Structure 1
Amino acid sequence: MEIHEYAHHDALGLAELIRSGAVSVKEVELAAREALAEADAAVNGLVGPLFDEPLWHADGGPFAGVPFLLKDHGPVAAGVPFTIGSRALKGAVAQRDTELMTRFRMAGLSTLGVTTVPEMAISFATESARYGRTRNPWDLTRGVGGSSGGAAALVASGAVPMAHGGDGAGSLRVPAACCGLVGLKPSRARVSCGPDSGEPGLGMTYEFALTRTVRDAAHLLDAVQGPAPGDKYVAPPPRGPYADEIGRDPGTLRVAVTTTAWSGVPVDPEVAAAAVRTARVLESAGHHVTEASPEVDSGAMTRSLVAGLAHIGSLYLVAPRQPDPAEMEAVSRLVLDLGRAYRLVEMTAAADAMNHVTRSVGRFFTEYDLLVTPVLSRSPAPHGTLDYDNPEHTVTSWVETLFAYAPFTALFNVSGQPAVSLPLGHGADGLPIGVQLVAPYGREDLLFQVAAWLEREMPWRDRRPPVHVGGH
């Protein structure tokens, strides 16, 4: 299989070629290895060499034999080392599969390696002291977002059709916006985070993947969604396969659109225009579009995210291997200190703030079926813009820095609604612009209906970055 042919297909396309006998699993794997070597040399998206052999996966499943990558954000797959982007974690190896990894295997995904993240996975810039800068295939001087940055860079450059990611404040949607991809954050509890965690990030952390097409996201969610034994929360079951929502008419929707950041930071007019243009396209299809926004207490949002960071810091402090703060970057050291010092009364106040945010957003979605917003406040930032190793930061100032760059994403980590970034805009600088769609809790079906329609009306599949293994 030629590398340009391999890079042309999405995950379902490759799976169909394999099922039909047009290519073998081994041919696809060899093409993927060549593509990954070429792309990684340009974008620096892998934490180390590829596995000698793909991780075990089922021969069946919707993605049987399709190349895949894992995110280096913690123990995911049995026997696979992890560093979470840090020099301080040495020799850590996952002892067992997460529930999600088990489902990736049963879906047939052929895992070949691990992708880069910022240290502790708490930055929107994948630029760690351990692995260096992961570069954007649209412009190598720009960042890829974070924390699922290596995954985004390698999917966007054609090296793999999709890759594992997580989202604690926008860590799937921000890289998707930076790199021109589909980044879905499912509803809270839609995808199990077990068995080692019941409420990751105080319920604000979600796991899924980055894809290039809406249909890949729908079929993958079908393969991995649903509760596992012992899960603390259970999302409402879907009415049927998400794959069946592709092409289904959503009916006439009440659509809200806002380009005003809840934190008050300015939004670049070109970025705002992409969201407004998307809303107008929906209006032209007969949907009722109104300029409206949830009422958001930005102070409560900040307290919620600071509590989430305190929880992350505390997890490091109770880990079997204690990290050496001297080998960590500045904000990581602050987060460790926060984990030590955070008091129960502060956590109680943060829980109250989270409840306040969740109730407000929930009320909003009793009046509207869909919300359209930007993802970022600007084009993908040049390297070094978000300086994680800046000793002048406090934890609060770091959270505010993240909100300034991506002011529209973290709200829905707190409140739990499904949200997706779609590459529906392109700037004068040639860089992609992500537009976020948000649906009521449990309504991924609606997101897939609308996202698939927009993919047909405002297609992006043929747009390729200058760094692409299949040729520009």
Structure 2
Amino acid sequence: MTDQLIEYDGLGLANLIRTGQISSAELVEVVIGRIERLNPTLNFMTNKGYELARSVAADPPRQGAFAGLPWLLKDLILGHAGVPLTSGSRFFRDHVPAQDSVMIHRLKSLGLIYIGSTNVPEFGINLQSGNALFGDTRNPWDTSRTPGGSSGGAACAVAARVMPFAHGGDGGGSIRVPSSYCGLVGLKPSRGRNTYFPDYADVWYGCGTDGCLSISVRDTAAYSDALWGSTPGDPYEIQPLSRPLLEEVGADPGKLRIGLMTRSPGPISSEDAARTAEAAARLCESLGHHVEVTEIPIDYARFTATFIRVINVLTAMGLDTAEALMNRKAGVDDLQPVVWAIRDLAKNVSGVEHALDVEILRQIGRDICMAVSKYDIVITPSTPVTAPEVGDPSQAWSDVDAYFERLVGFMAFSAPISISGLPAISLPIETASNGMPLGTQFIANRGREDLLIRLASQIEAAKPWKDRLPPVSAR
């Protein structure tokens, strides 16, 4: 049976446990074995919670969509009581939260059992997952390449089939980019779906969202159903969905009006990205949808300059907060060069300048929403290229200008959608000419994750991807 477990998604594994075909304790040991076999090559783990998982699995949860399943948590933002939360930084190497965040409580309600944490860039500010504390994570499709970031450790583990899904977060593409690079399903929800109580009131002015990376649309839907929902006082409100997202899997999306944008607004592009998005559009047409070419107007140079300044200021604020939390100042060996440079750059931004930057981003976001509102769905590539080499770019670089110049090129299709607050999902429909995964992004209007899941499940049924495995995997 254990050799066949790789064929199941999360809901499938949960059904095996529920029907007594495998126990939670047995599955925990299978996952531990996969981690121990694959992590030396791929380096996706930061903390191994094996003994905690074994103790819980001895008398596992019996309620929830994923009851009894081991679960990997991204090592960033969400606090899990008693579990190290390093944020990929030497400064936080000894940080252990004393309480669960609300979203951790909700994920536990799914019956999930914490088994470990996955690698991230320092403070999540990269589309690579590597840092000075744990080193670089590598893509199981090609170990010379990155699995992306900031949810790269999660993407790596899922692509290699350590587990069929893992926790992730997305602020500028950190779910969608690793999903694109690793051949996975990655949903970024609308602004306001997540609450970060009690740790934060706001994450990156609502750009920060949480979800999962998975091998199936239905796992993503079930995971999201438990995770979403605001708490009183959250700065962004959104109408709850009329029914569980899982019920949208297999539901008829109707005949959709779809816009197709293949041109990268940024400095990096590829024929593969355009070709894979066009192929996804043709598939949608074959399913009965109407597709037409469109453009989302983005002054990308203005957008990225503003976005970078805002993130720099928010990072500096986070570091000040971190020093207060840790009751000490960060030393020269605590932070990587780019992070130090970001803090210095933020000091040159006045309060008035920062307020203007936020206003500019909100105007850009509104313009994007207006362009998307002409359609039910807009299709773009998820990323302009396949996964770059490990270290391109790296927070260990001393030239912060060169770092940002490379970084903004890779986030051309993802970051503007984060600013807009619109929901978007990356699907692994096609592969690039080099054999690497290259995702397609589907963007919906605010609050229409239901429509995204209907279309995504229709596409998944028409052209399944679950059985595509990388060269380095649990097989």
- Residue 464 of structure 1 corresponds to 469
Answer yes or no: is 1:236 the counterpart of 2:235.
no
Q: Secondary structure of 1:165's partner?
A: strand
Cα deviation, residue 252, structure 1: 1.5
Counterpart position of 1:37? 36
Task: Give 1:411 shift.
Answer: 0.7
What letter matches 1:62 in structure 2?
A
Instruction: Say if 2:166 is the partner of 1:163.
Output: yes
1:181 alignment counterpart: 184
Q: Who is 1:308 aligned against? A: 311
Partner residue in 1 for 2:449: 444
Q: What CA distance in whole angstroms lies between the structure 1 residues aligned with 2:350 and 2:140?
A: 43
Q: Where do residues 242-391 of structure 1 align in structure 2 (5 Å cutoff)? A: 242-263=245-266, 265-298=267-300, 299-319=302-322, 320-321=325-326, 322-391=329-398
| CA deviation vs aligned residue, 1:281-330 (integer Å, no higher than 9, x gap) | 11222222111122113203430342023112211112222332433211
Describe the SS at the equivalent of 1:238: coil
Alpha-carbon contact 1:329-1:388 (below 8 Å) kept: yes
**How far apart in 1 are the matches of 2:75 and 2:146?**
18
Deviations 1:346-390 (A, max 9, x none): 211112112211210121132111111112221211122212221
The letter of the residue matching 2:464 is P
Residue 246 of structure 1: CA displacement?
Answer: 1.0
Q: 1:415 aligns with which of 409, 413, 420?
A: 420
Report deviation, 1:199. Answer: 1.2
Match of 2:141 among 125, 138, 141: 138
Query: Which whole-Å CA distance do the structure 2 matches of 1:51 and 1:156 have between them?
Result: 21
- Corresponding residue number in structure 2 for 1:8: 7
SS at match of 2:153: helix
- The CA deviation string for residues 167-214 of structure 1, in whole angstroms up to 9 with x for no partner, is 110001111111111111111111222221121012211111111100
Task: Check conservation: 1:74, 1:83, Cα contact below 8 A.
Answer: no
Q: For 2:90, what is the secondary structure of its paired residue?
A: coil
SS across alignment from 1:203: coil
State the match for 1:98 in structure 2. 101
Give the direction of change, closer, same or farther, for the CA distance of 1:90–1:31 in structure 2 (3 Å limit): closer
State the distance in 2 between where 1:465 and 1:340 align: 44
The amino acid of 1:64's aligned partner reads A
Q: How far apart are the structure 2 equivalents of 1:430 and 1:357? A: 35
Size of the aligned set, in residue pairs, is 466
Q: What are the within-5 Å matches in structure 2 for residues 9-28 of structure 1? A: 9-28=8-27
Q: SS at 1:289's partner residue?
A: strand
Q: Deviations over 1:323-343 (max 9, x none)?
A: 324332111102222344432
Q: Is the 8 A contact 2:78 2:103 kept in 1?
A: no
Q: By how many angstroms is 1:75 displaced?
A: 4.8
2:442 partner letter: L
Q: CA deviation at 1:58?
A: 4.0
Secondary structure class of the residue paired with 1:424: strand
Q: Is the 8 A contact 1:43 1:136 kept in 2?
A: yes
In structure 2, what is the equivalent of residue 79 of structure 1?
Answer: 82
SS at match of 1:327: coil
Q: CA deviation at 1:67?
A: 1.4
Distance of 2:101 and 2:210 partners within structure 1: 11
* Alpha-carbon distance between aligned partners in 1 of 2:123 and 2:236, rounded to the nearest angstrom: 25
Does the residue aligned with 1:283 lie in a helix, a strand or coil? helix
SS in 1 for 2:167: strand
Is 1:454 the equivalent of 2:456? no
Report how far residue 413 of structure 1 moved: 1.0
Letter in 1 for 2:299: D
Unaligned runs of 5+ in 1: none
Structure 2: which amino acid aligns with 1:96?
Q
CA distance in 2, matches of 1:378, 1:258: 15
TM-score by length of 2: 0.94
CA distance in 2, matches of 1:398, 1:313: 17
Q: Deviations over 1:134-158 (max 9, x none)?
A: 1111111111100111111111101
Partner SS state of residue 439, structure 2: strand
Alignment of 1:425 with 2:430, yes or no, is yes
Q: Is the 8 A contact 2:309 2:346 kept in 1?
A: no
Identify if the C-alpha distance between structure 1 residues 218 and 74 changes in structure 2 by more than 3 Å, giving closer, same or farther: closer
Identify the residue that residue 46 of structure 2 maps to in structure 1: 47
Q: Give the Cα separation in 2 of the matches to 1:256 and 1:301.
A: 24
The CA deviation at 1:400 is: 3.6
Answering whether residue 212 of structure 2 is matched by residue 213 of structure 1, we say no
Q: CA deviation at 1:90?
A: 3.1
Contact map agreement 2:24 2:68 (CA 8 A) in 1: yes
**Distance of 1:457 and 1:14 partners within structure 2:** 23
CA contact (8 A) 1:306 1:399 kept: no
Deviation at 1:429, TM superposition (A): 2.0
RMSD, matched Cα: 1.6
Partner Cα separation in structure 1 for residue 183 and residue 303 of structure 2: 31
SS at match of 1:184: strand
Task: Tell me how far apart the structure 1 counterparts of residues 315 and 205 of structure 2 sit (CA, whole Å).
Answer: 9
Secondary structure of the 1:47 match is strand
Measure, in 1, the Cα distance between the counterparts of 2:471 and 2:333.
39
